[in-house]
Structure 1
Amino acid sequence: MALQRRWISFAAAAGVAVSLLPSSAKAAAGGVSFWLPGIFGSLAATPTVPGWAYASIYLHLQANAGATQNFVTSGGGRGSVVTGLSAHGDALALAVIYTSPTPVLGGQAAFSIITAPGNVGVGIDATLTGPRGNAISGTAIDNRTTLSDVFYQGSLKWNQGVHNEMVYIVGNIPSGTYDPSRLANLNLGFVAYDVGAGYTYLDPKAGHEFSIVGGLTYSLENPFLQYQNGIDFHVDWAASQFISKNVQIGVAGYFLQQITDDSGPGAKLGGFRGRAIGLGPQIGFIISMSKEYQGYLNIKGYKDLEVENRASTWSTWVTFVVSPAPPEPAAKPITRKY
């Protein structure tokens, strides 16, 4: 168990940053959802060492959609329909995590707060219709350095040997930086909630690990666009092998499917149900810092293999977490035989 804790105390904490998408609109309106696929990865459901932890996640994301694909954006008016969209973003998520030493319902409770400053660049081609059906044409480019919403996450985790289970809830608190007159927003402009459950298989002796987390996202209406996203179903998964007690390598992927239609006066494209399937590699390192703390560095990347009613994306994640180190095993007493 001590060896297992040594491996997992930071990898699990790396999954707390959520929904940090630098794009034109973090909604199905822009072809993207509140939930950023790939948030959860390896060891997502494993309990961690109680106490305070601190995480930083650098995220680079590139999104592109062909000139034949239509999207609803905020720039140009409420629910403007444009064809063709490209976006890039760099965000640095900063998270504070507290894991309680007191059991809750027989499991381990944790709570996280996350926010992210970042830079967003967006370009669109040939606006088709304005908010009142007026025809508009041309191109638009916007670039902005701003702040995301504040995100929170609560979770409960349980462990039974090599089996680990988790339930969680995620939501956002608007930071007030959303600007409906701009194409580039790191802020959502609406409130959303996500709930789900996960499972991790971890065999410390063999070093085998597999994690899967599924959830549902419900979004309130964006009052600026008069647009409400449909409900999303998503699954994040990862598999890795510990090649030593401090190094893991593996693959990770995701699946997202919108299961209800978008709605509201601004939903000019109808149901606009999105889908995304992605895959990529990962590598992780556990770093000894002191007797009380240790670090975890994880690098992973994703590429969309299939998308529908969404911009095609690729992303790079660099996560570094500082968390309490697992206690050293007690020394065995010396016995003498006479």
Structure 2
Amino acid sequence: MHLRAAIKSISAGAAIAAVLAGPARADEGGISFWLPGQMGSLAAVPGEAGWSMPVLYVHTSAKGGRDAAFTRGGRVALGLKARADLVLAVPTYTFEKPVWGAQAAVGMGIGGAHMKTNIQATVTGPGGGQVSGSEHDSLNGAADLYPTASLKWNRGVHNFMAYTMGGIPVGAYTAGRLANVGVNHWSLDAGGGYTYFDKKNEFSAVLGFTHNWRNKDTDYKNGTSMHLDWAASHFVSQQVFVGAVGYFYHQLTGDSGSGAKLGEFKSQVTAIGPQLGYFFDWGGRKMYLNLKAYKEFDAKNRAEGWNAWATLLVPLGK
């Protein structure tokens, strides 16, 4: 399969194939709407018109130190450890007719997760009482809904993208639980990206900003955050590329509301890791598989850990 045809088979859905929150990130309960690392190689490259089905699996593990405090289940908890296995499908339609000179696409992220959370101590309860000891919680449940839209422009080796993504709070959530799949509040994320691609080498970077609405059950409002995802790769053949990925997440404004018992709780984290991409034919369809992993460091007010991703893009045709 020629490289040009293989790249063409990646619809706009590949750039918005992952929109599920992780188990121990920033903001309320250590959870943010945006999962850093979801944008990657070839993010701004236009693809084929028609339907596609990106499918994503993410395994993530994070923990805070025994003295690191997080608001969790309406309590201030110490010794947080969290793991999750996430599966998401993003049915996506890419329009054939240009919009403002760009290729337009829309999609909807749907899926579910298994979450597992442990804490070593709870220092305050919802009523102000003090509790000590360890506690465990796990949950299998549906995720929130994630509508997405993007515009992509191509100018030779330069590619540009604008995107927006929303969070509709319909996922599994119960106030007071340590483990929840949904975040129980509306969110809106928007940004832009760039990809340099000369058929042999590639570099992509996507910058975005997230606004969160209040969680009415806990009276907690996450602050506005900024995130930068990047990826670099080199094609070792017409079908295979290898490279590196990374992200930087930084909370710009503090958390608020009566549920924000730790104050503003601004957080940040950085990560880097390897990646592998593979284009192949299966049943007459041009498929794309991407594997990548991130190791986090330089975390502040945020559980730190690692995560691994597998993304499969299946073009469905017009």
TM over 0.5, yes or no? yes
Larger radius of gyration: 1
* Cross-structure match for 1:17: 17
Q: CA deviation at 1:257?
A: 0.4
Q: CA deviation at 1:273?
A: 0.4
Q: CA RMSD in A?
A: 1.8
* Amino acid corresponding to residue 292 of structure 2 in structure 1: K
What does the per-residue CA deviation read over 1:6-25, in whole Å, with 9 as the maximum and x for residues that have no partner?
Answer: 2253285333133323426x
1:209–1:8: structure 2 CA closer, same or farther, 3 Å change rule?
farther
Separation in 2, partners of 1:8, 1:242: 15
Separation in 2, partners of 1:104, 1:21: 30
* Amino acid corresponding to residue 150 of structure 1 in structure 2: L
Say which is worse superposed, 82-91 or 208-217, in terms of deviation. Answer: 82-91
What does the per-residue CA deviation read over 1:192-216, in whole Å, with 9 as the maximum and x for residues that have no partner?
Answer: 0100000000002xx0100000000
Q: CA deviation at 1:143?
A: 1.1
1:83 aligns to 2:78 (yes or no): yes
Secondary structure of the 2:245 match is: strand
Q: CA deviation at 1:42?
A: 0.3
1:232–1:213: structure 2 CA closer, same or farther, 3 Å change rule?
same
* Cross-structure match for 1:301: 293
Separation in 1, partners of 2:171, 2:234: 42
Separation in 2, partners of 1:170, 1:18: 11
Which runs of structure 2 are paired with 1:236-251 in the superposition (5 Å)? 236-251=229-244
What does the per-residue CA deviation read over 1:138-164, in whole Å, with 9 as the maximum and x for residues that have no partner?
Answer: 211001111110111100000000000
For residue 116 of structure 1, the aligned residue among 111, 117, 121 is: 111
* Amino acid corresponding to residue 294 of structure 1 in structure 2: K
1:6 aligns to 2:6 (yes or no): yes
For residue 165 of structure 2, the aligned residue among 170, 188, 194 is: 170
* Amino acid corresponding to residue 244 of structure 1 in structure 2: S
Which runs of structure 2 are paired with 1:1-338 in the superposition (5 Å)? 3-7=3-7, 9-10=9-10, 13-23=13-23, 28-74=27-73, 79-204=74-199, 207-291=200-284, 293-323=285-315
Separation in 2, partners of 1:108, 1:173: 25
% same residue: 41
Structure 2 spans left out of the alignment, 5+ residues: none
* Amino acid corresponding to residue 90 of structure 2 in structure 1: A
1:5–1:161: structure 2 CA closer, same or farther, 3 Å change rule?
farther
Separation in 2, partners of 1:105, 1:128: 55
Separation in 1, partners of 2:86, 2:206: 24
Q: CA deviation at 1:133?
A: 2.5
Structure 1 spans left out of the alignment, 5+ residues: 326-338
8 A contact 2:19–2:109 mirrored in 1: no
1:254–1:12: structure 2 CA closer, same or farther, 3 Å change rule?
farther
What does the per-residue CA deviation read over 1:238-281, in whole Å, with 9 as the maximum and x for residues that have no partner?
Answer: 00011111111000000010010100001111110010100010
What does the per-residue CA deviation read over 1:171-205, in whole Å, with 9 as the maximum and x for residues that have no partner?
Answer: 1122252111321111111110100000000002x
Secondary structure of the 2:120 match is: strand
Q: Which runs of 4+ in 1 moved over 3 A?
A: 2-5
What does the per-residue CA deviation read over 1:53-102, in whole Å, with 9 as the maximum and x for residues that have no partner?
Answer: 0111111010111111000012xxxx311111001111111110100001
Separation in 2, partners of 1:16, 1:198: 12
Aligned pair count reads 317
Say which is worse superposed, 54-63 or 192-201, in terms of deviation. Answer: 54-63
Secondary structure of the 2:14 match is: helix
